[in-house]
Amino acid sequence: MIFRKSTFNTAFYIFFIVLLQYQVKAQPELLVINISNGMGVKGSKVCLDVTMENFENLTSIQMNMSYDATLVLPECPATFVHPALQINSLTEFSCNNKDKGYIFYLWGGDKTSIPDGEVIFTICFDIIGEAGNKTPVFFNGQIIDNGIEICGEDSNGSTICTEEIISNPGTIMITSNTLQAYYHKCDADSDNIPNGGSLTFYGTGGLPPYSYTVMPGGYTGTLSVDGERFTINNIPTGIYTLVITDANALSSTVTPISISDNIAITIDSFAIRNPTCADRSNGYINIKGVSGGISPYQFKWSNFISGIQLDSIGGLSSNTYSVTISDFNGCEKIVSHTLSVDTLRMNLQITRDASCTQIKDGSAVITAVGGTPWTIGRPYEFSLNGNNWIRFTPPHTINNLGSGNFTLTVKDSIFCDTDVTVYNMPFNRTVEMSLDITDAKCNGSDDGQIEITASPYSVDYTFLPLINFPNLGIIKTDTFKVAGIPAGNYAYRVLDAAGCKDTLFFTINEPDSLKINPTIVQPDCATTGSITLNPTGGTGIYTYKWDPVQAGNPNVLTGLNGGTYTVTVTDDNDCTATFTQLLNQQGSLNITPEVIKQISCAGANDATLRVDILSGNGPFDIIWRDTNGVQVGNSQTILNVRPGTYSVQVTDNTLCSNTRQITIDEPLPITFTSIVSNAPCFDTNGQAIINIFGGSTGYTFEWVVKGSSTIIDTGNTLNSKAGEYVVTVINQFNCKKDTNLVITEPAKITFPVPQTRNVTCLGLSTGQAVILNAPGGLTYNWSSGSIGPFAINYAAGPGWVFATEGTCKSDTVFFTVGTFPALSIDNAKTIISNPTCFGENNGAVTIEAQGGTGLGYTYVWANGVTGATLNNIQADAYIVTIGDSNNCTQVDTFFLTQPDKLEASIDRIKTVELDCNNQDAGKVGFFTSGGNPGKKTFTWQSGVIVDGDVAVGLSPGTYCATISDNFGCKDTACYTLTAPAALRGELNTPDEPLCNGGTTCISVKFVTGGTGNKYTFQINNGTRYHRDSCVTVFAGQYFINLIDSAGCSIDTIITIGQPGAISVDLGPDREIQLGLPSPVINVSIDSPVGLDTLVWTPFTSINCLTTDCVTVEINPAETTTYLLTVTDRNGCTGTDDITIEVKDVRNVYFANIFTPNRDGNNDYFQAVTGPGVEKILSFAIFDRWGNRVFEKADFLPDPAGTDGWDGTFDGRRLDPGVYVYYAKALFIDGKEIEYSGSVTLADKVKN
């Protein structure tokens, strides 16, 4: 079972999960998990830290930690958990499966982030394995009980989960504080493998490289690194001793190692169940009948599940799995088995492309093979785009597929399904329109034109205007040409005969309106007038046509005296604008009446007029008159003016006057028509359109439901449900006009709720539904794909149906198709009787079906037997197919087990063999394996005395017992006691040591007879050695015992001789004076064998007076002991030493008076030296005032005395007196000694 984020609840205790929620980005960084390393000795505890990187915004992690359970076992809970994982969260550790090699951890809480490298938790392990082994510790995604899942929250708050991590495993190494040798072995199997057994060993805890010796056999070699395994194959049966020695000459010995003749590890059979689906993990492997070797056995599977009693694993997917079986001696057997399944496979082939992107008329054929098909009805189901499952028989055609991507998946009878696969439906053609536009030449003109061409070519195209766009006509051809189009926005759709279409939106543009923009200067009483034109809009260059005619193409007229002037302005597109201006006659006032405010709406009297007086002298007399000459005002501005023509007369104080007219037009009334399109179907939209005469530019619209003031639309078109609506049309002057419009709808399509018929068998699609008394004229569409009032092929569960009439559709009616309960075996009433003994056929199974129709149950077993009971069967898997009255079937499997085979074999502990001390008190005991639990009964042959289950007081002969368990399973075993032959043996004659005090070894030449084959021998009643040993001894007499397995022995005495010792005599120690040699030393040597070498140690300061250095002189600089080692031709040695003591005599002397008078006597003062002096380093003489009068360095004094001081200084004789000398001497032993004193100069030097 795996906790997923979608099901994560308070039941966290089941798993070892760390619910880690990291910040999921566009491409989130994977969680990096690091496990530290550790080491320790057997019986100690080691703790590992788990750190993580990219632990950002995490809410959940699910993982398991694996290790080798034969070497270490963890402790729960963890000794440390990061504080951030303990806040508003749940943390649980589980060691329920620690003996299988994995543990679970679960954490779940709020979004959490932890800096890289901080310890998430610390977990400790007890070390139970032997030194020299190591186990990885890692997060294992192959454990079926739970995988790895990391969940995090992205920036939008959405949860994203992944199974990917980066795991850096740790390692636990088992060490030893001392050198230890370890081994495991596989015994020989002479019946099947005649070449012998195998011995694997290694050393650890010392300083490599290691050397090894396995005796007997003389197997030797080197192990380069600590823990390196080496295997000796095909080693004969026997008792062996293993000695491993490290680089420091430390040794570790393992003995005895018995390679015996045994039965190799064998496996009786496998019980295999393949996974039911390719993506399911419900297979298992069971290893039956492991025997051979020495139990108990350990199992280590390739997915790192390990431990004792793990002879089966489950929850397996399709793969190859291997298991390493180890017995008590470490002998291994590796076997593997492959779980496979006939994968459900799906294939789809497009048989007809869709016509275009708008038409769903594509087809595809789907096929499926493999898996577990239904045996009744159509064998498979498919789901298109995640919709309802539909049963089908391959090959099956799927119609009405549109272009583009669609998804498909297939499942079989046990709900194995294929991956959801995305396919693409191609299409044949794309209808496209191209457009050529000619815009309107003039603002407001209707001379725009278009040419629309549809492709690919066809004469079956229809061009239709879109709703809410102007209708230029409907044409059925491939080209649509229209001229005389005003400026505006248009949209057309083209349809071919199949309904493929394209839509085009386009605009007919127009230039800005041509405006003259005149500037008028009226003539007045004193000046002339002018007209200046400033045209804008239109296209290109302007031309001007005046009335009265003007020369050239002027836009400015000056010097005007009054009258009416008309001008027509024309652009390059021949668009025109005309302007007429009445100028006052010169000699009259220049006045201009103007409309300040037009009449707002038709029927209103709210205009405002004003006259602008541009010349003259005030005050002015102003009179306004209407069309009838009635005075209506006398001020410059008049208000609330009706439509009509008005004159205004203005007179100044000089009686200069002028009269002008102005007309107020009444606006056109708002005039429109309405078009109502009623709703085509119930509860669909109808349409109401307001069309304004003269176009809708500048108009706004307010639509309300009648009786409501809430505006629901503001366009000229209302798309809405049936009802009565009021629309108010408002022009740019805020004039309003409203009208009521009613949209109707047809009656709602209804039909009775369908009646259903149950699915005949759970999981089939045989359900049915029908609409009784279905109204005519309707088309019924079912979720199963059926059309009409009757539907089939329904699976159990929800379904739906809707009816259509033309384009109208009813509400969707939902219903449920029932089913009978699942057909299954009633476990409570199932009786399984396993065979009582191994290999017997007295098992039975009795079952009772439940569910289904509850009637007419049938039972068909795979072996052809029918009925609810299967008798007289052996241990195996039995498959039964149960059925009901609807012929629904269900397959189930029952497993009958049997006890392991009851087997009796000799119990070496309880059995006492006959030996020299015991000729009639033998014992025979058997131990049993297999059979049924409970006490076993032993029945011995007649006349045998029994103590418990052991036969006692036995003399030579064969003794048998029949062993039975409480179910009567039996086995008979016999064992023969034989009287041992007389113990006989002989020693090998030891070689005499080559040298006095050397060693040899005592070994056994042969030993036979006695009891057993584990012979040993003793030397002087000491340690017992294996018969193949060669025990190192010195020369002398030894008492030897040859001993058999029962302790019976024979004795002998052996004497080992040796040669005489080498005698070396250097005489007494000697004393010498520093610098003088010793007296001659003559060495006295007495050797029984000719000499090979003489070695003096040290050899310094030795003067050999003979070529063999037997006569020497020795002159050391300090007291030294000399060792002479004499070696004969056999390599034997003799030694003696002599000490030459050097007396500390320093032969340096100085006189205290001298007379340098050149009489040949005592003329020089100097240092006098003797033996042992190397040289005088320095020699100086000073007078009483401290003046140096003589100096000499690095010399050895002349025995003639001529290199001393002659009493002069710079060739001048000095006066008699006392002088001071200073000297430093260097001796041959490296010492430097200073000398100082005074000397008297007794007489002058004679001239």
CATH number of the domain bearing residue 184: 2.60.40
pLDDT value at position 4? 35
> What is the CATH classification number for the domain harbouring 1136?
2.60.40.10
Per-residue confidence at 20, pLDDT binned at 50, 70, 90? very low
pTM: 0.41
pLDDT value at position 1129? 87
Task: Specify whether 864 is located in the same domain as 885.
Answer: yes
Which of the listed residues 368, 393, 425 is the one where a domain comes to its end? 425
513: closest CA among 485, 486, 536? 536
Q: Which residue has the tokens 């492959």?
A: 338
Per-residue confidence at 5, pLDDT binned at 50, 70, 90? very low
Task: Specify whether 653 is located in the same domain as 739.
Answer: no
pLDDT in tens, 748-789: 999 999 999 988 888 788 889 999 988 888 899 998 888 989
Three-class DSSP category at 6: helix
Check whether 26 has a pLDDT greater than 50. no
Task: Specify whether 377 is located in the same domain as 498.
Answer: no
Three-class DSSP category at 832: strand
pLDDT value at position 381? 93
Three-class DSSP category at 1074: coil
1136: closest CA among 1095, 1178, 1088, 1076? 1095
Is position 1246 within any domain?
A: no
Mean of pLDDT over the chain:
86
Q: Do 1160 and 1126 meet the contact criterion of CB atoms below 8 Å apart?
A: no
Task: Specify whether 550 is located in the same domain as 685.
Answer: no
The DSSP element (H or E) to which 91 belongs, if any, is strand 89-94
pLDDT in tens, 589-642: 888 899 999 888 888 899 999 999 887 788 999 999 999 989 999 999 999 999
- Report d(CA 60, CA 108) in Å as an integer: 5
Three-class DSSP category at 1201: coil
pLDDT value at position 1244? 55
Task: Specify whether 208 is located in the same domain as 302.
Answer: no
HEC sequence for 918-967: ECCCEEECEEEECCCCCCCEEEECCCCEEECCEEEEECCEEEEEEEECCC
pLDDT value at position 696? 57
Across 142-151, 160-169, 640-649, 1236-1245, the highest mean pLDDT is recorded for 640-649
How far is CA 417 from its chain centroid? 26
- Label the pairing between strands 1070-1073 and 1133-1143: parallel
Residue type, 970: K
pLDDT in tens, 1063-1101: 999 999 998 888 888 898 999 998 888 888 899 989 888
Task: Specify whether 850 is located in the same domain as 908.
Answer: no
Give the domain extent around 809.
755-817
Per-residue confidence at 268, pLDDT binned at 50, 70, 90? confident
- Report d(CA 225, CA 477) in Å as an integer: 92
Q: What angle do CA 1165, 1168, 1172 make, to 5 degrees?
A: 160
Check whether 9 has a pLDDT greater than 50. no
Is position 455 within any domain?
A: yes
Q: Do 893 and 881 meet the contact criterion of CB atoms below 8 Å apart?
A: no
Is position 707 within any domain?
A: yes
pLDDT value at position 816? 92
User: In 522-566, which ranges are continuous DSSP H helix?
Assistant: none
pLDDT value at position 15? 31
Check whether 1247 has a pLDDT greater than 60. no
Task: Specify whether 968 is located in the same domain as 997.
Answer: no
* Burial class of residue 603 (count of CB atoms within 10 Å of its CB; 0-12, 13-18, 19+): exposed
pLDDT value at position 823? 87
How many CA atoms does the CB half-sphere of 1046 hold within 13 Å? 22
Task: Specify whether 114 is located in the same domain as 165.
Answer: yes
Is position 748 within any domain?
A: no
Least confident of 198-212, 341-355, 691-705, 820-834: 691-705
Is position 1097 within any domain?
A: yes
pLDDT value at position 299? 81
Task: Specify whether 653 is located in the same domain as 691.
Answer: no
Check whether 897 has a pLDDT greater than 90. no
How many CA atoms does the CB half-sphere of 203 hold within 13 Å? 26
Q: What are the residues whose beta carbons fall under 8 Å from the beta carbon of 793, sequence distance 6 or more?
A: 390, 391, 765, 766, 767, 784, 785, 786
Least confident of 422-426, 523-527, 786-790: 523-527
For residues 174-197, give the mean pLDDT: 81
Q: Do 222 and 209 meet the contact criterion of CB atoms below 8 Å apart?
A: yes
Task: Specify whether 1139 is located in the same domain as 1183.
Answer: no
Three-class DSSP category at 160: strand
CB atoms under 10 Å from CB of 1040, counted, come to: 20
Which residues does residue 417 pair with via DSSP β-bridges, in sequence order?
Answer: 411
Three-class DSSP category at 1162: coil
> What is the CATH classification number for the domain harbouring 886?
2.60.40.1080
Is position 1056 within any domain?
A: no
pLDDT value at position 194? 62
For residues 1142-1164, give the mean pLDDT: 85
Instruction: Render 1092-1121 in DSSP notation, one character per residue.
Output: EEEEEES-TTEEESSTTSSEEEE--SS-EE
Q: What are the residues whose beta carbons fall under 8 Å from the beta carbon of 729, sequence distance 6 or more?
A: 670, 672, 690, 692, 699, 700, 701, 736, 737, 738
Which of the listed residues 946, 977, 1008 is the one where a domain comes to its end? 977
Q: What are the residues whose beta carbons fall under 8 Å from the beta carbon of 549, sequence distance 6 or more?
A: none
Which of the listed residues 408, 425, 442 is the one where a domain comes to its end? 425
Task: Specify whether 849 is located in the same domain as 737.
Answer: no
Which residues does residue 635 pair with via DSSP β-bridges, in sequence order?
Answer: none
For residues 718-738, give the mean pLDDT: 90
Is position 1055 within any domain?
A: no
Residue type, 444: G
1084: closest CA among 1036, 1136, 1047? 1136
pLDDT in tens, 1171-1188: 888 899 999 999 888 889
- The H helix count followed by the E strand count for the chain is 0, 110
Task: Specify whether 844 is located in the same domain as 797.
Answer: no
Q: What are the residues whose beta carbons fall under 8 Å from the beta carbon of 301, sequence distance 6 or more?
A: 310, 313, 321, 322, 323
Backbone angles phi and psi of 557, in degrees to 5: -115, 135
Number of domains in the chain: 13
Is position 418 within any domain?
A: yes
pLDDT in tens, 545-562: 999 999 999 999 998 888
List strand residue ranges (DSSP E) for 642-716, in order. 644-651, 657-664, 672-677, 686-692, 700-705, 711-713
Cα–Cα distances in angstroms (integers) from residue 125 to residues 48, 172, 1019, 1021, in the given order: 8, 9, 47, 47
Per-residue confidence at 309, pLDDT binned at 50, 70, 90? low
